[in-house]
Amino acid sequence: MNSETLAALSDEMAALARAGLPLDRGLAALSVELGRDSVGRACRELARLLSEGKPIDEAMAQALKGTPPHVAALVRGGIVSGKLAESLTRLGEHARLRARLSSVVIDSLFYPGIVMAFGLAILAFLGTFVIPKFVKIFADFGMRIPWMTQVLFALNEHAVVIFLVVPAGLVFAVLLLKFALSLSESGRRLWCRLTGAIPVWGMMQRQVNLALLYDLLGLLVTAEVPLAEALRLAGEASPDPVLAHAATAAAKDLEAGKPLEPSLRDHKLGTAWAAWIAGVGASQGKLAQQLDLLRDTSMRMAEWRASWLRAVLPPVLLVFVAGGGIGMFVLSLFLPMFTLVEGLSK
């Protein structure tokens, strides 16, 4: 189940719980109104399981295929604490946050990708329709052409290999490496560290994943899920295997009696400042509020890096494509033209 569907379903269930209506009957009526879309089907299946007497957390885990374990734990915590409506509302907010931050990562590369594609399309047009004419002109005059022009003609002659086959081979090699590493937990962590080393992009990805971790951990703490279990569940829900491994190790430290601050700091779950903030919040009974602060800080940092990518990368690509590619093209073609004009003038 994707984040948008989970958010919509959580909102509907929260409204029913807040109004004190029976969830099974309310979801059954809602499924009729929604029809056969993904939310309607989920409501119908969930209503059936609830009417059969299944507990709501087990029913959600069974009805919502692919739902991570933290959903059932969150609902269970809301039932125990008597805050089911609030827990479902926060679950919907977290699902929307996950979808929003995923779009931040995608949007940060959308405009630069358009710029790059446009520049490559221009170069492809010049190589297909313009350069061959100059090759014929220079050959007809029997001219000696400078090395830069020779390089341009050689690149254009083998353009398919250089600009299609080689990049496709590199992409295939990267995908093959990713697949090979994905076969083991340690390999997935290594891949995450490799992609995390990419300037700006890697740190933006980590800030996004930290924001999701802090948000879900605060949500589970508010639902009165035990802290060690909450940290473990938040780690399991993280798309970052490095953070997931660190959260599991930190949860074990908490179960062994280690305070929260050193547990987070020693396993690099955020910065030392973030670990200190969380530790102070835990000692003052305000952990959920401090985790919300850390979530907002990580979101702002991720969005700042995304805006930086959108603002800086397109001009850099324009300079690279226009100044490098097209500039080399123009200079390479006009250098022999100067020689030709000089020869004709004599």
Q: Say if residue 44 is in the same domain as residue 189.
A: no
> Per residue in 21-41, is it b (16+ CB within 10 Å) or e — as a string?
eebbebbbebbeebeeeebbe
Domain-located, residue 19: yes
Tokens representing residue 272 in the block: 């030392």
φ/ψ bin of 224: left (φ > 0), alpha (ψ from -120 to 50), beta (otherwise) = left
Distance between CA 317 and CA 117 in Å, rounded? 10
> Per residue in 245-274, is it b (16+ CB within 10 Å) or e — as a string?
bbbebbbebbeeeeebbebbbebebbeeeb
Q: Say if residue 202 is in the same domain as residue 333.
A: yes
**The amino acid at 130:** V
Q: Say if residue 110 is in the same domain as residue 14.
A: no
Q: Say if residue 63 is in the same domain as residue 145.
A: no
Classify residue 206 by burial, with Cβ atoms within 10 Å: 0-12, 13-18, 19+.
Answer: buried
Distance between CA 119 and CA 76 in Å, rounded? 54
Cα 49–chain centre separation: 34
pLDDT tens track, the chain, 346 positions? 667 777 877 888 888 888 887 888 888 887 887 777 777 788 888 888 888 888 877 887 777 776 666 677 777 777 766 777 887 887 787 778 777 767 776 776 777 777 777 777 777 787 778 788 878 877 777 777 788 888 878 877 877 777 778 888 998 999 999 899 888 888 988 988 898 888 887 888 888 889 888 988 888 888 788 899 889 888 887 878 899 899 999 999 999 999 999 999 999 888 899 999 999 999 998 998 999 999 899 888 888 888 887 777 777 777 776 667 677 777 777 777 776 666 666 5
Give the pLDDT score at 253.
94
Give the pLDDT score at 2.
67
Domain-located, residue 333: yes
Length of the chain: 346
Q: Is the pTM of this model over 0.75?
A: no
Tokens representing residue 286 in the block: 């305000």
Classify residue 3 by burial, with Cβ atoms within 10 Å: 0-12, 13-18, 19+.
Answer: middle
Domain-located, residue 76: no
Distance between CA 237 and CA 201 in Å, rounded? 21
- Total domains in the fold of the chain: 2
What CATH number does the domain containing 127 carry?
A: 1.20.81.30
Q: Say if residue 176 is in the same domain as residue 301.
A: yes
Q: Where are the alpha helices (DSSP H) in 237-271?
A: 241-255, 260-266
What separation in angstroms does the CA of 343 have from each of 135, 149, 153, 330, 333? 18, 18, 22, 20, 16
Domain-located, residue 204: yes
Q: Say if residue 198 is in the same domain as residue 312.
A: yes
Structural domain of 227: 96-346
Give the pLDDT score at 146.
80
Q: Say if residue 178 is in the same domain as residue 302.
A: yes
Give the pLDDT score at 172.
93
